[in-house]
């Protein structure tokens, strides 16, 4: 238990709320302070009574601020895993932080939500939760509500302003916090503002001690963050964005394990737009959620980002087809400007049975042909074309083209109609560089307009996935990850990527699709340290509704025939996903099901040989053996074997920075 000094210390310091309160039980806290009034504590438990959330009103200065705490049911009792954490929100016209008086409490129990995704870790989803809505008024009689949901695998909450008004109100600050005390932390910094950033492309690192400050030259911590504390795993992020609120990250300072929300940096988007958010009424903030698991399976397999997002806005989704794509830019950045340089990649996609080929930046300057001719050629090969676009506009200075087409709705819709009529199947939109409300709104408007013209969407240079794949199923992937293209320009990438990629499944990829662009079997500017087995595992380790394979046709076809067949067959649509083994920063083993076939893959993030033993997923008809592709004698060789399964377990050895991939029916 922390000291009484921390228990009673509270004050806002700078732009982050500093609060300190911990107690072994509510009753003990009341006896200790003697200052919690009646009607100052509310609680709700999950449908299975596995998670409990308590909201507290405490009369420490400043008067009557609200806090929440989270408990997990363990060994017959509830154990606190999130310490009392600050709540509060400030509008230009009113403060909703202290001196709040409760006016109503409404609980809704055993709410059920079922939906089916087009792509994701698991297509058919069903979740249950209990919900509590607490409404308060401030001294000016303005009303705010707090909505808490308790799931068996996590909690979520949001602020809501009821009423009906055409007047715009502006949020200037949030005091929302997440207090985890002590334990281990994994995360990645929210990057400094440059021509190319922020874009959620810093490295994931850890474990660090909870409370470690973000690097001095970064703007705090980005979502999601992963924590191990009090015997539980927790993942924190946001979801449920509709364009009426900007996205957040976390302050660099996290004293005693208290992480607090921070709005986008004002310098983002070249300083255009405010870093605050505005709307008329009624108005709700995005959901902030904490996925909770006794093991890492509850984190890697979480569905909370889509559970908390609005249902699909599309009636007809028959035209949305996830798939695999060739990509010429990694091997030759100028190739999109030459018709003849793209043709081999379309031919390769057809040869592999892959659905798409991506034509990247500056294709509008194509010589020896044009994109219309290219689309006709691709259609004859039964390959769909995807085209790159710059998202700017005034909000970025990146010169790559086409640009100045997607920031204005009229020009955007004209362009979408033009390329849709041409037979183009999708778009890659790049260089957003901001989480401000106006940019978040641009994402949702692009998705809406693209859907009207039957265009798939891939966002790059972008924000974190925040559940949009449910609301707009034509969104198949997003970057927001330090990806395979970094072999071209980051000399530290080869030594940092193995550990980074063993953290990504528990963090970045846990909240949504990641366009990492695997398949780099050859070397570029900075050579690989990882083996071919590691690289072959990535299409299963990483989930993405479109998987862009980076290498040239010639380099890929130099792989053994069984590895080429694996790449030809491995899908991107998954009926189920299971965590099998691993620890963030060290290794990870994942199984994914597609139809009747299970795929399995593992990667080793450390420069040591290791052996992992794990259970296969529970199912009828456990296989006798798994067809496995592993590293051979050299790092650039592969071998295929049938590995025996004993009592539902299998043991796999991995070379340093090695990996494996396989399947069973």
In this structure, of 8-17, 153-162, 309-318, 576-585, the range with the lowest mean pLDDT score is 8-17
Find the domain containing 89 and state its range: 4-307
For residue 89, tell me if it sits in a domain.
yes
625 in any annotated domain: no
Examine residue 203 and state whether it is found in any structural domain, yes or no: yes
Residue 336 lies in a domain: no
CB 192 within 8 A of CB 218: yes
- As a whole number of angstroms, the distance between CA 613 and CA 618 comes to 15
CB 259 within 8 A of CB 17: no
Residue 349, token pair as written in the block: 């996609």
Question: Which two three-digit tokens encode residue 315?
Answer: 């009636």
For residues 303-308, average pLDDT: 98
**Alpha helix stretches (DSSP H) within 127-199:** none
pLDDT digits (tens, 9 = 90+) for 45-80: 999 999 999 999 876 545 679 999 999 999 999 999
- Residues forming beta bridges with residue 459, ordered by sequence position: 429, 478
Is residue 550 predicted with pLDDT exceeding 70?
A: yes
Asked if pLDDT for residue 18 goes beyond 90, the answer is no
* 411-to-306, 389, 422, 428 alpha-carbon distances in Å: 31, 13, 17, 17
What pLDDT, on a 0 to 100 scale, did the predictor assign at position 63?
67
Q: DSSP states of 182-242 as a string?
A: SSEEEE-BPPPPSSS--SS-SPPEEEEETTPPPPTTS-SBPSPEEEEETTEEEEEEEE---
**271 in a structural domain:** yes
Assigned domain for 60 exists: yes
We report the CATH number of the domain holding residue 275 as 2.70.98.10
The mean pLDDT value for 243-262 works out to: 98
Burial of 424 (0-12, 13-18, 19+ CB in 10 A): buried
Is the model's pLDDT at 7 over the cut of 50? no
Cα–Cα dist 438/441, whole Å: 5
Q: Examine residue 267 and state whether it is found in any structural domain, yes or no.
A: yes
Total structural domains in the chain?
Answer: 1
Q: Considering the domain boundaries, does residue 536 fall inside one?
A: no
């Amino acid at each position: 238990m922390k000291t009484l000094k921390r228990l009673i210390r509270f004050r806002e310091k700078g732009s982050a709320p500093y609060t300190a309160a911990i107690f072994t039980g509510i009753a003990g806290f009341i006896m200790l302070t003697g200052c919690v009034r009646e009607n100052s504590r509310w609680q709700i438990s999950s449908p299975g009574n596995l998670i409990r959330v308590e909201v507290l009103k405490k009369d420490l200065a400043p008067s009557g601020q609200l806090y929440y705490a989270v408990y997990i049911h363990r060994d017959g009792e509830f154990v606190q895993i999130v310490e009392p954490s600050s709540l509060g929100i400030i509008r230009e016209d009113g403060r909703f932080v202290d001196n709040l008086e409760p006016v109503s409490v409404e609980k809704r129990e055993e709410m059920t939500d079922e939906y089916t995704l087009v792509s994701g870790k698991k297509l058919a989803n069903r979740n249950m939760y209990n919900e509590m809505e607490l409404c308060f008024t401030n001294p000016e009689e303005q009303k705010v509500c707090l909505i808490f949901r308790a799931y068996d695998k996590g909690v979520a909450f949001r602020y809501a302003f009821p009423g009906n008004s055409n007047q715009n109100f502006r949020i200037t600050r949030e005091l929302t916090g997440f207090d985890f005390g002590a334990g281990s932390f994994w995360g990645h910094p929210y990057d400094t503002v440059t021509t190319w950033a922020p874009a959620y492309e810093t490295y994931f690192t850890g474990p660090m001690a909870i409370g470690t400050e973000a690097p001095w030259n970064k703007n705090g911590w980005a979502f999601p963050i992963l924590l191990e504390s009090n015997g539980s795993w927790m993942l924190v992020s946001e979801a449920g964005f509709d364009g009426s609120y900007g996205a957040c990250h976390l302050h660099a300072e996290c004293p005693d394990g208290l992480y607090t929300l921070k709005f986008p940096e004002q310098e983002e988007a070249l300083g255009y737009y405010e870093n605050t958010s505005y709307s008329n009424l009624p108005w709700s903030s995005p959901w902030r959620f904490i996925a909770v698991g006794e093991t890492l399976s509850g984190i890697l397999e979480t569905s909370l980002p889509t559970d908390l997002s609005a249902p699909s806005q599309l009636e007809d989704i028959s035209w949305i087809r996830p798939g695999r794509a060739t990509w010429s830019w990694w091997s030759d950045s100028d190739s999109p400007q030459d018709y003849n340089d793209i043709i081999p990649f379309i031919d390769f996609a057809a040869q592999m049975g892959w659905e798409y080929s991506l034509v990247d930046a500056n294709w509008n300057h194509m010589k020896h042909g044009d994109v219309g001719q290219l689309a006709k050629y691709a259609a004859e090969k039964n390959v769909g074309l995807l085209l790159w676009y710059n998202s700017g506009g005034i909000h970025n200075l990146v010169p790559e083209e086409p640009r100045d087409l997607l920031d204005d709705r009229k020009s955007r819709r004209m362009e979408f109609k033009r390329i849709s009529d041409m037979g183009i199947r999708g778009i890659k939109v790049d260089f957003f560089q901001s989480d401000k409300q106006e940019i978040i709104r641009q994402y949702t408007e692009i998705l809406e307009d693209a859907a009207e013209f039957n265009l798939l969407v891939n966002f790059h240079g972008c924000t974190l996935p925040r559940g949009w794949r449910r609301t707009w199923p034509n969104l198949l992937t997003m970057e927001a990850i330090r990806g395979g293209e970094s072999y071209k320009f980051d000399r530290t990438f080869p030594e940092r990527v193995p550990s980074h990629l063993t953290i990504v499944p528990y963090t970045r990829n846990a909240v949504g699709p990641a366009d990492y662009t695997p398949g780099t079997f050859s070397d570029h500017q900075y050579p690989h340290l990882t083996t071919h087995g590691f690289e072959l595992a990535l299409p299963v380790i990483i989930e993405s509704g479109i998987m862009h394979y980076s290498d040239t046709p010639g380099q890929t076809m130099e792989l053994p025939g069984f590895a080429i067949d694996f790449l030809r067959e491995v899908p991107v649509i998954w009926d189920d996903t299971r965590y099998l083994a691993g620890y963030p920063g060290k290794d990870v083993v994942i199984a994914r099901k597609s139809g009747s076939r299970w795929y399995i893959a593992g990667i080793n993030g450390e420069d040591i040989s290791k052996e992992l033993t794990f259970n296969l997923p529970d199912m009828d008809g456990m296989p006798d053996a798994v067809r496995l592709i592993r590293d051979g004698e050299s790092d650039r060789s592969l071998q295929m074997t049938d590995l025996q399964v004993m009592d539902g377990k299998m043991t796999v050895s991995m070379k340093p920075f090695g990996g494996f991939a396989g399947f069973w029916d």
